[in-house]
Amino acid sequence: MTVAGILSALIVGLIIGALGRLVVPGKQNIPIWLTIVIGIVAALLGTAIARGVGVADTNGFDWIELIFQVVLAAVGVALAAGFWGRRGHRVH
């Protein structure tokens, strides 16, 4: 992978992760690096699902693919925020 490809993946991951955070209600106390990782994974999985369904390559902007990606990012952010929040609050 080239430097441009890595930078593109990071930017897409940040955008998709940020959109996922916006969809999830409340404040998510997870680090930005985790948001980027979730966004990258959601972008890859969302594209794979869109291709599997046959909606990844359409005329114009691929809104359905973006919806898949953002929904997956929102689920990932919600799961990570739930796990991350419990890490610091253990009952003794």
* Region 16-28 average pLDDT: 88
Q: Please tell me the predicted confidence (pLDDT) of residue 61.
A: 80
Residue with tokens 């490809």: 5
Q: Please tell me the predicted confidence (pLDDT) of residue 91.
A: 44
Residue 74 contacts residue 17 (beta carbons within 8 Å):
no
Neighbouring residues of 81: CB distance < 8 A, sequence distance ≥ 6: 24, 28, 29, 30
- Asked if residue 9 has pLDDT above 50, the reply is yes
Q: Please tell me the predicted confidence (pLDDT) of residue 90.
A: 47
- Asked if residue 11 has pLDDT above 90, the reply is no
| CA 68 from centroid of its chain's CA atoms | 10
- Asked if residue 88 has pLDDT above 60, the reply is no
Q: Please tell me the distance from the alpha carbon of residue 90 to that of residue 26, in angstroms, as a whole number.
A: 21
Q: Please tell me the predicted confidence (pLDDT) of residue 86.
A: 65
